[in-house]
Amino acid sequence: MTIQNEIQITPDLVEAHGLKPDEYERILSLIGREPTFTELGIFSAMWNEHCSYKSSKKWLRTLPTDGPQVIQGPGENAGVVDIGDGQCVVFKMESHNHPSYIEPYQGAATGVGGILRDVFTMGARPIAAMNALRFGEPDHPKTHHLVAGVVAGVGGYGNSFGVPTVGGEVEFDARYNGNCLVNAFAAGLANTDAIFYSKAEGIGLPVVYLGAKTGRDGVGGATMASAEFDESIEEKRPTVQVGDPFTEKCLLEACLELMQTGAVIAIQDMGAAGLTCSAVEMGAKGDLGIELDLDKVPVREENMSAYEMMLSESQERMLMVLRPDKEAEAEAIFHKWGLDFAIVGKTTGDLRFRIFHQGDEVANLPIKELGDEAPEYDRPWRETGLYSPLPADQVDEPEDYGAALLSLVGSANNASRRWVFEQYDTLIQGNSLQLPGGDAGVVRVDGHPSKALAFSSDVTPRYCEADPFEGGKQAVAECWRNMTATGAEPLAATDNLNFGNPERPEIMGQLVKAIEGIGEACSALGFPIVSGNVSLYNETNGEAILPTPTIAGVGLIPDWSKMATIGGAKEGDAVILLGGDGTHLGQSAYMRECLGQADGPPPPVDLYVERRNGKVVRSAIRNGQFTACHDISDGGLALCLAEMAIASGKGMQLDIDTEIGPAHAQLFGEDQARYVVTVSPDLANFVCINAEGAGVPFRRLGTIGGDRLTIGGLLSISVEELRGAYESWFPDYMDGTAALAGEG
């Protein structure tokens, strides 16, 4: 039987492929004829927003991507950063938003699988993962189901693959009701002299297909991910791929084993748009053509057309160019791990992308132009209106400070994420030094006596909504600050930019201004962006998500025995606020949770101050001066202190001076670049003198002791009550509607 590859191209068919009429005209003039059906599919895969970055490219180019520590910036499977001693950290963050909303378990699982593959494709063994998850409001009918499915999917894949999940975020907001966000981060460790790239070299060399077989799952997934949602969303379920972490684990081991033999010239994982994107990438980067014979592709379904094979997003697959003399050795390694190994084509010198199926040539396209000539748009944009200043005395004080703090501690957005992270294996590999719940996840560099890496993922979408530029800056600053709070030197970051429909000028304006803010902060902090991903069209029925530029960073701790933690305070320690008093209540968690308001500008980030304060904190940690350290962010000083008390199990006897400003601004203000540290009493003066010498404002708040968090005449709550509020929201929420059997 012959499989039908030819289908008449009609305007409707072009539109169904997400190609605009002018984009189709561009295809016609590029190849000088009508494309075949397979070719149309290839163009649609290469030119959709997800793969081509056609709306964001112009602005992404403005981001700082260089630094002495950077080995590989954006443009490869992942960024690569030097950590000394001949080793490097390879990392990236990527979204899997649309698939996770359609099918939460598999969507999230394959998001984790995809990002792990990006990392080990470059020759790195994954050592840490994080996940930034954003859902609709808790009582929205879909939210509970999405939280349960996404968390189980993240855990199901990562736990089985064997990477510790050491950090992440979970946030709820009505603006994600119709479009949740799943941003998956992975980092791996490699030797700097053994990094693998996608650029093919040499003519006539075998192109080898490795890993799992190709099925019809995910056909058209990247095109789906580049469109808005509407009521027909359920029909898109077949475009979501199905993950198999067992195959991925075998693929990891087989790839790393094969890389050691010197057989690999180029390697590219099959992610979005599968075989199409990976083959074009390898050829175009190496100035080579690629010829594929689809009759050789291992398939697990019958009668697949060329179109389906080229667009399948079946998971756990790799494409490689191998040294011909090592073919047999490579094949043996893959068979040992029970994986498919097939020579499916070769590199050519003619810069054409040629596809054969059943003896016919079904595609013959210029390989460079497929990527390079993708449309690029300078879309119209306009700035969002900004809020006028909101002095703290115009914001209502709480009637009861204790009740206000308890409601913040036990709120959906600030309560403990234990229900989530206990479903993730946080300990595997035996190198986890700080688990989720502190400022950053910390993982020891395996085999090194003292070095460790810190990881944090951050963004405050309500700030970005109120002021995309300041919000972009703040996302970078908070990530940088979270790593600093452990004592780590922030090295570099990856950005995952989640926005609505860029064809709307106000959304495009959010993207432009957020990138500008990110760029400014990264430059000022010496914290370059080395990889990333853009996810647009996050809208349902015309309502966009909050602008959410997630920043995930990596930092280096030279000696983990001196790192700081959130819960290390000792009885009698002095509690010191570094970085100044709280004054700014605009867009604060206090206003949102306690007053039900979103007003005022977000707190501005002074990058000079951020850098200066961070330097003082890092240096004190490395000199062993702090027993605990925590950055001040959502919920201000009060929530920061409550989290420290819960983590250490120790009370605090503190005072604030109400003469210097309104008490609610001091307790709940979200002014940036601030930390709370605890210091043994004999070092407290020394720490304060050092801060003063460096120009960092400081205030001695009181001492660690007792079993209550007491702040002057304002509030006094037992640590147990705080812990109860903090730990109960998530399990109550999840078990309230699920009514599953309780644990043992």
Summarize as ranges the residues that interact with other proteins (CB under 8 A): 152, 155-156, 159-162, 244-247, 249-250, 253, 337-338, 421-431, 433, 444, 560, 740-744
Cβ neighbours around 654 below 10 Å, total: 21
Would you say 168 and 111 are in contact if contact means Cβ atoms under 8 Å apart? no
Sheet holding 628-631, edge to edge: 628-631, 675-679, 574-578, 698-704, 652-654, 708-711, 715-718
Is there a catalytic annotation at residue 98? no
List C-alpha distances in Å: 370 to 86, 353, 364. 37, 9, 11
Q: What's the token pair of residue 395? A: 């914001």
Whose tokens are 């801060």? That residue is: 691
Q: What 8-state DSSP symbol labels residue 214?
A: B
The full length of the chain comes to 744
Question: Among 17, 96, 98, 630, which one carries the catalytic annotation?
Answer: 96
Give me the least distance between CB of 156 and other proteins, in Å please: 7
CB atoms within 10 A of CB 437: 18
SS3 570: coil
C-alpha distances in Å from residue 45, one per residue of 52, 94, 267, 455: 9, 18, 20, 33
Q: What is the DSSP-derived secondary structure letter of residue 2?
A: P
Q: Which amino acid is at 290?
A: I
Question: DSSP of 243-284, one letter per residue?
Answer: --HHHHHHHHHHHHHHHHTT-EEEEEE--TTHHHHHHHHHHH
Percent helix, percent strand, percent coil in the chain, to nearest 5: 40, 25, 40
Look up residue 148 and give its amino acid.
A
- What is the residue whose two structure tokens read 């979204």? 95
SS3 491: strand
Conformational region of residue 548, where left means phi above 0, alpha means psi within -120 to 50, and beta covers everything else: beta
Q: Do 317 and 273 form a contact (C-beta atoms < 8 A)? A: no
448 is catalytic: no
- Nearest to other proteins of 197, 729 (CB atom): 729
Which residues, in sequence order, are CB contacts of 377 under 8 Å at separation 6+? 54, 55, 58, 502
- CA 510 vs CA 5, 57, 518, 530, 607: distances in Å: 42, 15, 12, 22, 21
Which has the closest alpha carbon to 120: 52, 190, 69, 167?
A: 190
Smaller CB separation from other proteins, 11 or 430 = 430
Rounded least distance, CB 315 to other proteins, Å: 13
53 vs 419 by CB, closer to other proteins = 419
User: Is the CB of 380 or the CB of 649 nearer to other proteins?
Assistant: 649
Amino acid identity of residue 603, one-letter, is P
Indicate the helix (H) or strand (E) that contains 611: helix 607-622
Q: Toward other proteins, which CB reaches closer, 210 or 577?
A: 210
Q: How far is the CB of 428 from other proteins (least distance, A)?
A: 6
Minimal distance, residue 197 CB to other proteins, in Å: 26
Residue 331 vs 478, nearer CB to other proteins:
331
Closer CB to other proteins, 156 or 286, in the complex: 156
Position of tokens 């007491």?
A: 710
Give whichever of 117 and 481 is closer to other proteins, judged by the CB atom: 117
Minimum gap (Å) between residue 480 Cβ and other proteins: 25
Q: Name 81's bridge partners.
A: 70, 89
DSSP per-residue string spanning 17-33: TT--HHHHHHHHHHHSS
Q: Which residue has the tokens 């690629």?
A: 290
Phi/psi for 174 (5° steps) reads -55, -25
Closer of 385 and 742 to other proteins (Cβ): 742
**Sign of the dihedral defined by the CA atoms of residues 277, 279, 284, 290, in that order:** negative
> What token pair was written down for 99?
């698939």
Q: Which residues contact 22 (CB under 8 A, 6 or more apart)?
A: none
**Distance, CA of 358 to CA of 381 (rounded, Å):** 48
- What's the chain's Rg over C-alpha atoms? 26
Q: Burial letters for 246-274: b for 16+ Cβ neighbours within 10 Å, e otherwise?
A: ebbbbbbbbbbebbeeebbbbbbbbbbbb
Q: Would you say 656 and 663 are in contact if contact means Cβ atoms under 8 Å apart? A: yes
> 182 phi and psi, to 5 degrees?
-125, 105
Which one from 50, 98, 357, 664 is the annotated catalytic residue? 50
In the complex with other proteins, which residue's Cβ is closer, 400 or 422?
A: 422
Closest distance to other proteins from the beta carbon of 194 (Å): 18
Q: How far is the CB of 327 from other proteins (least distance, A)?
A: 22
CA–CA separation, 619 vs 519, rounded Å? Answer: 26
Q: How far apart are the C-alpha atoms of 699 and 579, rounded to whole Å?
A: 9
Judge whether 119 and 78 are in contact, CB under 8 Å.
Answer: yes
Question: Helix or strand or coil: residue 710?
Answer: strand
- Residues marked active site are found at 50, 96
